[in-house]
Amino acid sequence: MNLAIDIGNTLVKSAVFDKGQMTGMQTLEEISVTELQRFTGQHTGISASIISTVKDIPAGIEEYLQNNFLFFRFDSQLPIPITSAYSTTETLGADRLAAAVAAHSLMPSDNVLVINAGTAITYDLITADGIHHGGAISPGLLIRFKALNTFTGRLPLLDKITDAPLVGQSTDDSIRSGVLNGTLAEVDGMIERYSKLYTGLKTILSGGNNNYFDKRLKNKTFAVPNLVLVGLNITLEYNLEKSL
């Protein structure tokens, strides 16, 4: 059994995999050694672990993993089962690369665009030959709401992600229309532009806000909510095989 931990900008997700299948998961705003001990204690048989982070790892977490399991840190130095053509791999978000690994594993014969709709909205292209080419980074929904409040004198801070009218007849509805409808138009537009360049492109949607986009985009997408965790486990298995 494997333990995969994804420390994102907003949430920390931990999952246990048994023979490639996720058998347990928890989501927290912050992770501590106590919480990690509690979670792993509920899943006996874990022998290997991997952690991915977009920020500093909280004190004691890495030491706990090293002392209790075979441990891998997902970074630019760890071997992965795809090739990245990104020119600055040391600055590439670990979550983006892990998601690319999972996408190619799920659709190995296709060109795939991964859209991770979380704190930021990231776009990553993986071609059928197993090459990650990079993509784009855009502000997520909550960042857009916060920016309008922070950088203007009177616009209120909104955070409700729901349907929005195209024509807002109040300030609140106008903000929702601009942020929500505008972001939908952005994502649909990006899918269409990538599709013109890459034959038979498939789109995988993930991230904390994937449900909002999945039901409203004009383009067909495949929703895989925990794509990063799946990619981490695939990478862990890949490195375990290499070490045999």
Residues belonging to the active site: 95
Write the burial class of residue 156 (CB in 10 Å: 0-12 exposed, 13-18 middle, 19+ buried).
exposed
* Token pair for 32: 């501590």
Residue 81 near residue 105 (C-beta atoms within 8 A)? yes
Residue 5 near residue 30 (C-beta atoms within 8 A)? no
* Token pair for 52: 């991915």
Which whole-number Å values give the CA distances from 75 to 47, 157, 175, in the listed order?
20, 36, 38
What does 169-226 look like in DSSP terms, one character per residue?
SSHHHHHHIIIIIHHHHHHHHHHHHHHHHSTT-EEEEESTTHHHHHTT-SS--EE-TT
